[in-house]
Amino acid sequence: DTEVTQTPKHLVMGMTNKKSLKCEQHMGHRAMYWYKQKAKKPPELMFVYSYEKLSINESVPSRFSPECPNSSLLNLHLHALQPEDSALYLCASSQYDSSTEAFFGQGTRLTVV
């Protein structure tokens, strides 16, 4: 099983809403990542969890709050987002760190209205 599963696939939310994106992998990977991808642009790293601890936060606004409940799950909690936060949010995992092959999920297409 080399799958990273993200839910939901699509999400439309208002600027006052609170929602969560979910990511799951059962490959035993110990590093998990959140990326943001705008149209026609490459993915940009947001957060890195290593062994369930937040190791990197790439200056992401506090309206994005990551959580790693266990080694298989990664959440991204969203609150008071802006329309410019609309993007494809990608979750990825790798065995130990970024020096090993990273597998990506299919992403959550987020639209903020």
Partner 1 sequence: GESVGLHLPTLSVQEGDNSIINCAYSNSASDYFIWYKQESGKGPQFIIDIRSNMDKRQGQRVTVLLNKTVKHLSLQIAATQPGDSAVYFCAGVLDNAGNMLTFGGGTRLMVKP
* Minimum distance from residue 49 beta carbon to partner 1 (Å): 13
Distance CA 113, CA 80 (A): 11
In this chain, which of 13, 22, 44, 57 binds partner 1, going by CB under 8 A?
Answer: 44
104 binds partner 1 (CB under 8 A): yes
Give exposure, 59-93, as e/b (b: 16+ Cβ within 10 Å): ebeeebebebeebbebbbebeebeeebbbbbbbbb
* Minimum distance from residue 16 beta carbon to partner 1 (Å): 28
Going by C-alpha positions, the residue among 10, 17, 9, 8 that lies closest to residue 78 is: 17
In this chain, which of 21, 32, 43, 78 binds partner 1, going by CB under 8 A?
Answer: 43
Which residues make up the interface to partner 1 (CB under 8 A)?
4, 6, 33, 40-45, 48, 56, 90, 92, 97-99, 101-107, 109
